[in-house]
Amino acid sequence: QSRLSERVKAIKESPTIAISTKAKQMKADGHNVIGFGAGEPDFDTPDHIKYAAIKALVSGNTKYTPADGMVELKDAIIHKFKRDNNLTYTRSNITVNVGAKHTLFNIYMALLNPGDEIIIPAPYWVSYPDMALICGATPVIVETEEADNFCMTPAQLEKAITPKTKAVVINSPSNPTGSGYSKDALKALADVIVKHDILCISDEIYEKLVYDGFESYSIASLGDEIRQRTIVVNGLSKEWAMTGWRIGYAAANETLIKAIANIQSQSTTNPTSFAQDGAIAALMGPQELIKPLVSAFDERRKYIVDRFNAIPGISCLRPQGAFYCFPNISALFGKTSKQGMLIKDSSDFAEYLISEALVAVVPGIAFGAEGFMRLSYAMGMPAIMEGLDRIEKAVRDLQ
């Protein structure tokens, strides 16, 4: 322990990965656990993507590629940004990395000095603050309100900015809340970002998983000044069910992209060659193939939110995107289980659910938001129904 670096001592295991590992272990031990913890779609990667990778393997694309991605993939990403976001980039603006998580890690490494501040709205995706800690930078957490649909207001952003602020992270639609920023809300944030001349890291990995007619916008598309200050992050994992392929990407100014290529050339060398061919097929192939996935998520979302709102002591906003819901459980705190366990906070409640109801959820505190829990609905309807039955019973059992 004493030989470990200060850097690594500052961070913890990703709590979401820890919970899904625990649920998998319990299942392997023969327990009938329903896991709402996983952040990955339960669908399979579409066949045309798999065949593109197989073809690449067979035809010999099994060697090193350029450090920050094959030219053909960069061109496909440029095409995607034009088609989906009306953003124009050249190859020197694009980097390809080993998943969007790695893209973000590279961006942080390239931008953050010890002592720099990075503004992160809470509830946040678990890795945003810990990656900053790895870099010795300070995550400045802005607590958003449920009443604001968990969106950071321009006033909150402005208040958090100091001379040490390097960047702000925006994630719309969001993991863990599923909340999305409207175009107007993004424009208002963009004005503050431009006024104070800070950078914006915009994580748009859930942009295609949206419901009730919600429209995702890239903040970078809302004017030249904000585009120059924005690093747009995206990836294939979520909408194409490609979590294991590990391909993510970003668009930004040439200087940052070159810096990221240097980091990558000294670390992973390049993203896996034939996985990049799969990514090209996903980006250039028929886009309507994600429709069934989106409608399946939508059906589950409606069901789960309605069920939660019918349970006394729980309330749940209707998320605009992603595949998570983030119910408010604070009214349950202070209650006691039949076994005599006092529920004081979201961690206690998650512990109660896994031990007494065999249901795995992630406590809100893992995302910087006490009083809530996150459930992923990336599983079939029968399991969701059974899981909600168990949660409802567990809540009714509390006194």
Beta-bridged to residue 249, according to DSSP, are 96, 234
Q: Does 99 bind ligand PLP (CB under 6 A)?
A: yes
Site for ligand PLP in 187-246 (CB under 6 A): 203, 205, 235, 237, 243
Site for ligand PLP in 242-271 (CB under 6 A): 243, 248
User: To the nearest whole angstrom, how small is the minimum distance from the Cβ of residue 280 to ligand PLP?
Assistant: 16
User: To the nearest whole angstrom, how small is the minimum distance from the Cβ of residue 28 to ligand PLP?
Assistant: 23
Cβ proximity of 217 and 183 under 8 Å: yes
Question: If binding means CB under 6 A, how many residues of this protein chain bind ligand PLP?
Answer: 13
301 vs 335 by CB, closer to ligand PLP: 301
Distance between CA atoms of 234 and 134, rounded to whole angstroms? 22
User: To the nearest whole angstrom, how small is the minimum distance from the Cβ of residue 101 to ligand PLP?
Assistant: 3
Site for ligand PLP in 119-138 (CB under 6 A): 125
Q: Using the rule CB under 6 A, give the single segment among 3-11, 94-102, 106-114, 266-274 that binds ligand PLP.
A: 94-102
Q: Using the rule CB under 6 A, give the single segment among 82-90, 96-104, 147-155, 224-232 that binds ligand PLP.
A: 96-104
39 vs 123 by CB, closer to ligand PLP: 39
Distance between CA atoms of 148 and 145, rounded to whole angstroms? 5
CB under 8 Å to 124, separation ≥6 — which residues?
Answer: 141, 169, 171, 176, 367, 368
> If phi over 0 gives left and psi between -120 and 50 gives alpha, with beta otherwise, what is residue 36?
alpha
Q: Does 175 bind ligand PLP (CB under 6 A)?
A: yes
Beta-bridged to residue 248, according to DSSP, are 97, 235
209 vs 314 by CB, closer to ligand PLP: 209
Q: Does 100 bind ligand PLP (CB under 6 A)?
A: yes
Distance between CA atoms of 226 and 87, rounded to whole angstroms? 12
Give the residue closest to ligand PLP by C-beta. 99
Helices within the chain (DSSP H only): 6-9, 15-28, 47-58, 71-85, 100-111, 127-134, 154-160, 183-196, 224-229, 254-265, 273-284, 291-309, 346-356, 381-396
Residue ranges in contact with ligand PLP by CB under 6 A: 39, 99-101, 125, 171, 175, 203, 205, 235, 237, 243, 248
